[in-house]
Amino acid sequence: MSLSLERAGLAVLHRFDPETAHGLSIKALRAGLVPTPGPVQSARLTTDLAGLSLPNPVGLAAGFDKNAEAVAPLMKAGFGFIEVGAATPRAQEGNPRPRLWRLTEDRAAINRFGFNNQGMEPITARLAKRPAGIPVGLNLGANKDASDRAADFATVLRHAGPHIDFATVNVSSPNTEKLRDLQGKAALSSLLANVIGARDGLARQIPIFLKIAPDLNATELAEIAQVALESGIDAIIATNTTLARDKLHDPTAPAQGGLSGAPLFEKSTRILAQLSQLTEARLPIIGVGGISSAEDAYEKIRAGASAVQFYTAMVFSGISLASRIATGLDALLERDGFANVSEAVGTGRASWL
């Protein structure tokens, strides 16, 4: 599919409300209407992430394929790894619609989905049937009405663990009331201990990632770094969406919900660099937030990320963006004389501190 055809397809999707358009994009992937050229790979791009072998460090962030309905085509869309979910133990509707807004002028989106998903059982069943290929992970969530939300993460992991390559503990969504309270030092330590215990009970020891919010002060970030190092998790994803509304041009942007896309780039990259410094680069960090080009991905890596993820930019640039970012990143690494992407990690961190 040419870029002109992809742009035409995006123009059609943008005539629908954002959530309907999202559903149509998943159906198009499943129907084979979207090009799937396979992962972009080169000696410069191939890297290791917490024991996972990646053909390239450009990943799909959680939230695009919540119910693991398009895993096979997404595995061949150019990404080096993908993450699906979030999955909760029981199916839940999430928050009432409308709950997704497209901010075209800002190249951004705001969502307040509230962990809407079909539940761990159908999601796991689909993951069990996925083809071999790039690493596939699952974002773990908690039911809104759970009496013990912390226990939900371990429940999903025990159920889905045999069929995934990594799992992400998501305590950073702003759309489930009091979920971010689990980022506090004591609560987070207990939660991660339970999740690690569940992981250790699996036949195959998969890496555990922690996804954090960008709306953390210096003290909170330092505590998270300490807990992460002490807990035995394998990597940190920085960051989820933000509650801030800085520098937005769209006057209709809703006050509630998580903001993703271009306006999040600076804030999330600064958190990433600070986290890299706090952990003394002892834990891999996956940089997320505002990536829409190879240059953005490269900046995240230079700030301290071992790999990156994106999602919102596809709303405006299409799924071929995965291949374009990976190919462009390869060229940037070659330009600057890096034999492998791992050599570039953290080389520009100081400029973000």
Which residues carry out catalysis?
173
d(CA 191, CA 150): 5
- In the DSSP assignment, the letter for residue 116 is -
Six-digit token pair at 167? 């799992």
CA 345 to chain centre: 19
Non-local (6+) Cβ contacts of 92 within 8 A are 114, 115, 116, 117, 119, 143, 144
Burial of 214 (0-12, 13-18, 19+ CB in 10 A): buried
Non-local (6+) Cβ contacts of 43 within 8 A are 339, 340
Contact present, 265 and 289 (Cβ < 8 Å): yes
d(CA 92, CA 265): 30
d(CA 346, CA 173): 27
d(CA 36, CA 269): 29
Sheet holding 258-261, edge to edge: 100-103, 108-111, 258-261
Q: Own/partner pairs for 342-347, CB < 8 Å, 24+ apart?
A: 342/47, 342/48, 342/306, 344/298, 344/301, 344/302, 345/281, 345/301, 345/302, 345/304, 345/305, 345/306, 346/276, 346/281, 346/302, 346/303, 346/304, 347/302
Cα(first)–Cα(last) distance of the chain, in Å?
Answer: 41
